[in-house]
């Protein structure tokens, strides 16, 4: 187990239009059964990618609250009511760049801005390769501001057999960094 685990948190999951919707779905599945208060916001293009990659659509467990992208009335759009943690999964380079430079013209970007200014956990699960210098500089800005950059890089040392098992190797790392106890994916074992 990595990290210190919290009893209950309010977590915002933001989904952008990058490929990798399985990561968002698997994370939401786990958070739905975790007992943590979970909220979701989707970028405009996320809807199109969800249609391509999740034929049955995005499933939200009972109790997970969805918010409109333009709804600045969402509680986490203000520093006086910030969420405890925010995950952008998958995170496009465009969204990452807008967050890095303080653009906050919708609730997703505003919530990320609030997370940074209130020193709350902000995890960006980027899905892009190769990376250019502008993207790397944006990552540097975000790291300096306190964000966690967690590329969607699965591991294969336990020989996953399904695409879900592969995706869960990334989801487990996100949950670890959120401080959500989990046994989603086997962990590296010490040699016997």
CA-to-CA distance for 23 and 8, rounded, in angstroms? Answer: 22
Domain membership of residue 166 as a residue range: 22-178
Is residue 28 in a domain? yes
Specify the CATH number for the domain of residue 140: 3.40.50.1950
In a domain, 66, yes or no: yes
Task: Specify if 188 maps to a domain.
Answer: no
Q: Tens digit of pLDDT per residue, the chain (192 long)? A: 444 445 699 999 999 999 999 999 999 999 999 999 999 999 999 999 999 999 999 999 999 999 999 987 888 888 888 899 999 999 999 999 999 999 999 999 999 999 999 999 999 999 999 999 999 999 999 999 999 999 999 999 889 999 999 999 999 999 999 999 998 888 887 555
In a domain, 155, yes or no: yes
Inside any domain, residue 3: no
Q: By C-alpha distance, which of 78, 89, 84 is closest to 9?
A: 84
Tell me, what DSSP letter sits at residue 77? G
d(CA 154, CA 152): 6
Do you find a cis peptide bond into 68, omega within 30 degrees of 0?
A: no
Confirm whether 9 is domain-assigned: no
């Amino acid at each position: 187990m990595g990290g210190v685990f919290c009893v209950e948190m309010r977590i915002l999951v933001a989904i952008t239009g990058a490929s990798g919707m399985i990561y968002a779905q698997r994370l939401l599945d786990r958070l739905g059964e975790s007992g943590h208060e979970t909220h979701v916001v989707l970028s405009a293009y996320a809807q199109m990618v969800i249609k391509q990659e999740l034929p049955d659509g995005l499933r939200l467990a009972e109790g997970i609250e969805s918010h409109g992208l333009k709804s600045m009335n969402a509680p986490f759009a203000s520093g006086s009511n910030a969420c405890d943690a925010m995950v952008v999964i998958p995170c496009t380079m465009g969204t990452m760049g807008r967050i890095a430079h303080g653009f906050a013209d919708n609730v997703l970007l505003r919530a990320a801005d609030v997370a940074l200014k209130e020193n709350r956990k902000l995890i960006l699960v980027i899905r892009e390769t190769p990376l250019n210098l502008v993207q790397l500089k944006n990552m540097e800005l975000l790291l300096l501001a306190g964000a966690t950059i967690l590329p969607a890089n699965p591991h294969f040392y336990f020989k996953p057999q399904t695409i879900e098992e592969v995706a869960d190797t990334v989801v487990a790392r996100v949950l670890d960094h959120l401080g959500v106890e989990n046994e989603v994916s086997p962990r590296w074992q010490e040699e016997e």
